[in-house]
Chain A
Amino acid sequence: DIQMTQSPSTLSASVGDRVTITCRASQSIGLWMAWYQQKPGKAPKLLIQRASNLESGVPSTFSGSGSGTDFTLTISSLQPDDLATYYCQQYQTNSFTFGQGTKLEIK
């Protein structure tokens, strides 16, 4: 199975900061990467699919980039509502593996 490694595991930032989360796949997955946001006690919310395609209704402060094995999720200006854990998920193969998550804390 393809392994997904996210970094960092925890991130503390201030409102207005630019924040970047990375995800590395153990083998090339092309553009078959999705990103989710999960707030405490809630189900995950799909933010981005196909590496950079923003889902409808997702603020434009979120963006995704990358291809092959290295991907990033960027929040251009951190807002208090962005407090959450973020997960990447590959869909190159039918194992659909998730990264271990990045917990974003607001300073």
Chain B
Amino acid sequence: QVQLRESGPGLVKPSETLSLTCVVSGASISYGHYWAWVRQPPGKGLEWIGSINYGGTTYYTSSLESRVTISVDPSKNQFSLKLTSVTSADTAVYYCAKTISSSRGISDYWGQGTLVTVSS
């Protein structure tokens, strides 16, 4: 059974960098799927952030592309998200997820999500 778990600070100050890591178990991150980040502001809908494969090929949503970096560490079976210059609009539950084999952005396994609040 594939399991994903997000970790990172729950509170980030405005203008600083949000950093999260997703540890994958039950599947090798090198298998060939893409690995994605999706976020959800409190009480609002889902927003796809981006995805990466084991070789480091990335895809990002255009609205965040200038501030986001997704990286992968196959040796630790984990991938990470960095979002720079955060504001209160970046307050959200952040999910990491595994994508299906035929897509870089449709996800069949998800982490439980982690709430990141941007506040001074």
Contact = CB atoms under 8 A, between A and B. Distances in A.
Interface residues of A, number: 23
A45 B110 CA distance: 8
Contacts of A45: 110
A104 B95 CA distance: 22
A96 B111 contact: no
Interface of B is mostly: loop
Contacts of A99: 45
A96 B112 contact: no
Interface of B: 38, 45-48, 59, 61-63, 95, 97, 100, 102-108, 110-113
B70 to A, nearest CB: 13
A55 B103 CA distance: 15
Contacts of B100: 46, 49
A49 B59 contact: no
Contact of A34 (B38, B45, B106, B111): B106
Which of B47, B107, B112 has most chain A Cβ within 10 Å?
Answer: B107
Interface stretch (A11-19, A68-76, A86-94): A86-94
Which of A1, A55, A96, A101 has most chain B Cβ within 10 Å?
Answer: A96
A95 B108 contact: no
30 contacts: A1-B63, A34-B106, A36-B46, A38-B46, A43-B95, A43-B111, A43-B113, A44-B46, A44-B107, A44-B110, A45-B110, A46-B100, A46-B108, A49-B100, A50-B102, A87-B45, A87-B46, A89-B46, A89-B48, A89-B106, A91-B103, A91-B104, A91-B105, A91-B106, A94-B104, A96-B61, A96-B104, A97-B48, A98-B45, A101-B45
